[in-house]
Amino acid sequence: MSLTPIDPAGRVEDVSLHEAAERYGTPLYVYSAATVRQNIKEMSQAFAGLSHKIHYSVKANSNLAILQLCKEAGCGFDIVSGGELVRVLRAGGTPQDIIFSGVGKTTEEIDLALKLGIACFNVESDQELHRIKQRAQMLDKVAPVSIRVNPDVDAQTHPYISTGLRENKFGVSPEAAEKLYAEAHANKFLQVMGIDCHIGSQIGTADPLVDALYRILELVDRLEAAGIPLEHIDLGGGMGITYSDEEPLDLGEYGARVQQAMAARSQQIFLEPGRSIVANAGILLTHVEYIKPGINSVDPGASHDAPAPNFAVVDAAMNDLIRPALYQAWHNITNVAPEHDEPIKMWNVVGPVCESGDFLGKQRPLSIKQDDLLAVGSAGAYGMVQASNYNSRPRAAEVLIDGSQMYLVRRRESIEDLLQLEAIVGN
Ligand code: LLP
């Protein structure tokens, strides 16, 4: 998994990014189909020694064309809402490809999933199990369920994306899970399928993931002893990638250690990767609108720790990519094949939104001129899906590149699109 799909000539696969920006405008999300396919292949190879199924986590990038690629590469899907369910079907997925995670499934979402016949609900609380049971009874269906267990393992990642600790809202304790399994097993409207956990995102080493698996296996043994067999063990997603110079999760090591832990066991392994499939397959292209040199203090008494930054004001903003503002995330920023040799300076690359938190990167050594085209890297995951219309900014367009082909897979929103759902009062 490489950091960026861009080659030194400013191309993704066989398409020039300058051409993409000219044709579709900026800000523009660009995805490489070959990279998505390659990432799925690498994950699959790492687990080749085990019976396994990859359920791509739709929340990372839910564009229909990305889902279509995942489906074609043999993935199922991990969803967290009715909206994601409909997207998967629209992209060619089947209900049997779908597992449904999330702490707050509504009655409507549960009914939709039951009627369609999804593969499994990952249940996150006793009240949710009861609701699923009631709805299944009402609709005369049998609901396939797994319980999401919170193994209380520290994933050593950003607190906002850590999910497997006691203090997080996700899953239930192994003890509580045991009771829920007994209940589900005894109920004819519920069918126990497996067990599930997901301890967090952007995890850099296999240790916490493998620790979680061993804790889950203790419970699997107790359930089997109680006559409750399971068909699958879902380890969730969370595989870390390289944003700057961090080591990505070693998938080969993870796969080998899972295989070791699963020796002499029959369950199929489910995985729910999101970021590791799409993050480094995507970039956000943005145009430099203005450059503003740093303001040197006129007050001789003023003391500043660092020289005033230079600002490159670009046409992408926190509403397009919120990760830097929300998680202090670092995304690689490069100038796409510039045709000048401006001296390298330190830049804060900022958007037009009226907040100081609106930046894409700070203190970046770059050679920049007005009207350059910049590429923000590792933007394929949790980029467009977390975009908003803040400051009444239409959301970016998205293109998918496959070899020499470039497909517009989401057109740019217009101001009219934004206003369509609103009304003024009276008249
Ligand atoms: N399964 C479950 C139950 C999840 O909650 C998540 C992510 C995944 C799978 C996929 O995890 P991944 O392989 O992508 O790490 N917006 C944040 C990330 C939030 C992750 C939420 N859950 C970000 O931009 O870093």
Question: For ligand 1, is residue 275 a contact (CB within 6 Å)?
Answer: yes
CB contact set of 40 (below 8 Å; sequence gap of 6+):
54, 56, 70, 73, 74, 75, 277
The pLDDT of residue 302: 57
Tokens of 220: 């699997």
Q: Is the pLDDT of residue 1 over 50?
A: no
Question: First-to-last CA distance in the chain?
Answer: 57
Q: What is the pLDDT of residues 281-331, one digit of tens each?
A: 999 999 999 999 887 656 555 555 667 789 999 999 999 999 999 999 999
Residue 2 has pLDDT above 90, yes or no: no
Average pLDDT over residues 153-179: 79
* pLDDT value at 427 more than 80: no
What mean pLDDT is predicted for residues 234-251?
A: 96
Ligand 1 atom nearest the C-alpha of 272 is: 9
User: Is the separation of the CB atoms in 378 and 279 below 8 Å?
Assistant: yes
- pLDDT for 242 beyond 80: yes
Structure tokens at 426: 């009276």
**For range 69-87, the mean pLDDT:** 98
Report whether residue 276 contacts ligand 1, using a CB cutoff of 6 Å: yes
pLDDT digits (tens, 9 = 90+) for 388-404: 999 999 999 999 999 99
The half-sphere exposure of 203 on its side-chain side, counting CA atoms within 13 A, is 29
Question: For residue 289, what is the enclosing H or E element?
Answer: strand 282-292
Q: Is 101 near ligand 1, meaning CB less than 6 Å away?
A: yes
Out of 54, 272, 385, give the residue to mutate to test ligand 1, the one with the largest number of ligand atoms within 8 Å of its CB.
272
pLDDT digits (tens, 9 = 90+) for 213-234: 999 999 999 999 999 999 999 9
Annotated active-site positions, please?
354
Q: Which pLDDT value is given to residue 301?
A: 58
Cα dist. 112→136, 140, 229 in Å? Answer: 11, 13, 27
Span 105-160, pLDDT tens digits: 999 999 999 999 999 999 999 999 999 999 999 999 999 999 999 998 877 766 66
For all residues of the chain together, what is the average pLDDT? 94
Enumerate the β-bridge partners of residue 97. Answer: none
Among 275, 326, 384, name the best residue to mutate to test ligand 1's pocket (greatest count of ligand atoms within 8 A of Cβ).
275
157 lines ligand 1 (CB under 6 A): no
* Contact 161 CB / ligand 1 (< 6 Å): yes
Lowest mean pLDDT among 67-71, 164-168, 360-364: 164-168
To the nearest 10 degrees (0 to 180), the angle between helices 107-116 and 82-90 is: 30
Cβ-based neighbour number of residue 183 at 10 Å:
15
pLDDT of residue 158: 66
Sign of CA dihedral 160, 164, 167, 171: positive
How large a percentage of the chain has pLDDT more than 90? 89
Average pLDDT over residues 245-253: 96
Does ligand 1 have an atom closer than 6 angstroms to the CB of 237? yes
The predicted model gives 188-196 an average pLDDT of 98
Strand spans (E) along 41-149? 52-57, 76-79, 98-100, 120-123, 143-148
Distance 404 CA to ligand 1 centre (A): 31
Please tell me the distance between residue 175's alpha carbon and the centre of ligand 1 in angstroms.
Answer: 25
Query: pTM of whole model > 0.85?
Result: yes
Least confident of 23-27, 258-262, 301-305: 301-305
pLDDT score recorded for residue 154: 78
